[in-house]
Amino acid sequence: MDTRQKIVTRAVKEIKSGMNVNLGIGIPTLVANAIPANYNVLLQSENGLLGIGPYPTEDIVDPDLINAGKETVTVVPGASFFDSAESFAMIRGGHIDLAILGGMEVSEAGDLANWMIPGKMVKGMGGAMDLVVGAKRVIVVMEHVNKNGESKIKKQCELPLTGKGVVHRLITDLAVFDFTEKGMQLIELAEGVTLEEVKKKTAASFNVALAQ
């Protein structure tokens, strides 16, 4: 599996049947295609859609059906459409069980930066700032290092923050971390990855809490 697919395969294990789930832009959107068919899960998009299905094949693309990242999607039976005010009322009202978001940087304190890089054009902050405080649980999925080989898991985020201390779990292509009162905890290593490799590629300080 390629790097992104490894992350998606691990992330889908966080979804339980009966959940209302919001998938962020980027790697999180790929999770929609990996959810087991027998799961009763409703995927929500902050642009006003509850009941997102898998990505469409070319023969069924509908340009009017898009997610928050402006990608075409399908809908499941019983899906509903509504305006942004209703959508954000769902998020701010605590009705989203799980938000799976992409990340540019995550700090050892569970801070998240994922909405802009200074000097680069951005279309807007999107719904991430609402999701990180409104969703019951926030999971960030991202590659462990950037294109230059630098760690994206920092002691402190250098990019503008989306939220402080908002990440519950971080899933990368190398490892899984939890953020608790005891600090940042390494709880899993990806297959074939060593603890030494994770330490070398992680700028943040963390405790090792691997299952025996």
Q: What is the pLDDT of residue 118?
A: 81
Q: Which CATH number fits domain 3-208: 3.30.930.10, 3.30.460.80, 2.60.120.1310, 3.40.1080.10?
A: 3.40.1080.10
Q: Is the pLDDT of residue 106 over 90?
A: yes
Q: Is the pLDDT of residue 14 over 80?
A: yes
Q: What is the pLDDT of residue 68?
A: 84
- Indicate the helix (H) or strand (E) that contains 171: strand 169-171
Of 33-37, 80-84, 125-129, where does the model show the most confidence? 80-84
- Listed by start position, the domains of the chain span 3-208
Exactly one of 46, 58, 105, 108 is catalytic; name it.
46
Active site residue 150: no
pLDDT in tens, 28-80: 999 998 998 889 999 999 999 999 998 899 999 999 999 888 899 999 999 99
SS3 content of the chain, % helix, strand, coil (to 5): 20, 25, 50
